[in-house]
Amino acid sequence: MASDPIVVTHPLLQHKISLVRDKDTPPIIFRMLVREITQLMLFDATRDLTLTDRDIETPMQKISAPVLAEPGPVLVSIMRAGNVMLDAALEIIPTAGVCHIGIYRDRDTLEAVEYYFNAPDDIADRALLLVDPMLATANSSVAAISQLKARGVIDMRLVCILAAPEGLRALADAHPDVPVYVGALDTHLNEKGYIVPGLGDAGDRSYAT
């Protein structure tokens, strides 16, 4: 059975999500907010990363201290809009690997169009964090996860800022094994497949296109 999304409810996060929704927020502030939102969401979404002990010496004494196990996680950007979240995630997990998946929605059919894939060779053996601000129909994330599973990946979770119930159902049907972290659960999709109340087109708002 499909699991429920994990809704991250911190007040700072909710505050920033409200600002990012505002249609008058310009691209430079939009990207800054997406960056901050991503880092707040990763606090929850990275809780199960594996630690290992390393010998270090503080100014006081030698200790065995926890550090991220290697190889570290792989951050997966579902482009284009995922790239803003990717850069934010790399700031706090600088040793992470990176995977870019190029996918856009056909404006008429809403089907996912796949145009690019680039990943580390050992991706199947690593923990993956997929980032994409929007989960609308879920066609894009379902396609991205299918591409990763076809390459042997098992351990992954998806981080989205906004999600629609329709997309969450579709994702849970297609990939019930993949946990999804969301910043806010919106009410529905409109007739053009946009999330309502949403924030509009995340790629366009990020890059002023």
DSSP 112-178: EEEEEEE--TTGGGS-EEEE-SEESSSHHHHHHHHHHHHTT---EEEEEEEE-HHHHHHHHHH-TTS
17 lines the binding site for ligand PRP (CB under 6 A): no
88 binds ligand PRP (CB under 6 A): no
Nearest-approach distance from CB 209 to ligand URA, in angstroms: 11
Q: Is the dihedral of CA 37, 43, 44, 49 positive or negative?
A: positive
Q: Is 110 in the site for ligand PRP (CB under 6 A)?
A: yes
How distant is the alpha carbon of residue 24 from its chain centre?
A: 24
99 is a contact residue toward ligand PRP (CB under 6 A): no
Report how far residue 142's alpha carbon sits from residue 129's, in angstroms, rounded to the nearest whole number: 14
The binding track of 170-199 with respect to ligand URA, each residue x by CB under 6 A or -, is ------------------------xx--x-
Residues engaged in binding ligand URA (CB under 6 A): 134, 136, 194-195, 198, 201-203
Residues engaged in binding ligand PRP (CB under 6 A): 78-81, 104-105, 110, 112, 132-140, 167, 193, 201-203
